[in-house]
Amino acid sequence: MSPAALVAGRRVWLCDLDGTLVDSAPVHAAAFRAAITELAPSVLGSFRYDAHAGATTREVVAGLGLGGDVAERLVRRKQRLYREYVEAGRVPLFPGARRLLGRLSTAGRTAYLVTSGSRGSVDRVLAACSLGGYFSGVLTGDDVLSGKPDPECYRQACERWRVDPDDAVVVEDSPHGVASAVAAGLVTLQVYAAEPAAGAVRVRDLDEIADCLDREVSVSVSE
């Protein structure tokens, strides 16, 4: 089924943040590498941020085999560095992000943010990119026990906001995020992927999704 057919009439949109609406992966990677260099240089050579896209900071650190005080200090240092980078304006919006969110608003859709990011980091990104006003609610990695690819975040989002899964669509970029949404029984669009992850429908970018909404609105008006 085409992306346009899948999203037609769905009134609730659950959007990921990092790698989907904002191009934050290079900045996350830089913050991790700087923190690891300071606190755990022995694991720097094996660190590849792209292998962890969509995971929480704590899950990435755990994946490095670190524990105890070093792991906790590394989590705090990475988050602090990332937030400094955000406030310095180093995290840009992806093309089409503001257009898509604006179109959702004008078309009478309700948008929520569902992200594995920590509350402090997410709030800073939303403020720095002037995105906060587009969302009716925000669920972060601090609100769940397990981050993506576990489906807990999307299941909790549907429960918290009384979302009918049959009336919702998810926008994600990473295989972790797709796995989380699909396991929660949600229709999922995946952006920026050469090949879609299992269960997702590939869309080129955010402008393609906005185009689908524009066509749907045009048809409803003409009728």
**For the chain (length 223 residues), average pLDDT per consecutive 10?**
89 97 96 97 91 82 90 96 97 98 96 95 97 97 92 98 97 96 98 96 97 76 43
Would you say 3 and 213 are in contact if contact means Cβ atoms under 8 Å apart?
A: no
In this prediction, residue 178 carries a pLDDT of 97
Would you say 141 and 59 are in contact if contact means Cβ atoms under 8 Å apart?
A: no
Q: Is 214 a catalytic residue?
A: no
Domain map (residue ranges) of the chain = 3-23+92-222, 25-87
Question: How far is residue 162's CA from residue 206's CA, in Å, rounded to a whole number?
Answer: 26
In this prediction, residue 217 carries a pLDDT of 65
In this prediction, residue 218 carries a pLDDT of 58
Question: How far is residue 113's CA from residue 176's CA, in Å, rounded to a whole number?
Answer: 16
The catalytic position among 16, 18, 150, 173 is: 16
CB proximity list for 111: less than 8 A, separation 6 or greater: 12, 13, 14, 15, 101, 104, 105, 134, 135, 136
Task: Write out the E strands in the chain.
Answer: 12-15, 110-114, 138-139, 168-172, 187-191, 201-203
In this prediction, residue 88 carries a pLDDT of 97
Fold classification of 3-23+92-222 is Rossmann fold (3.40.50)
In this prediction, residue 223 carries a pLDDT of 44
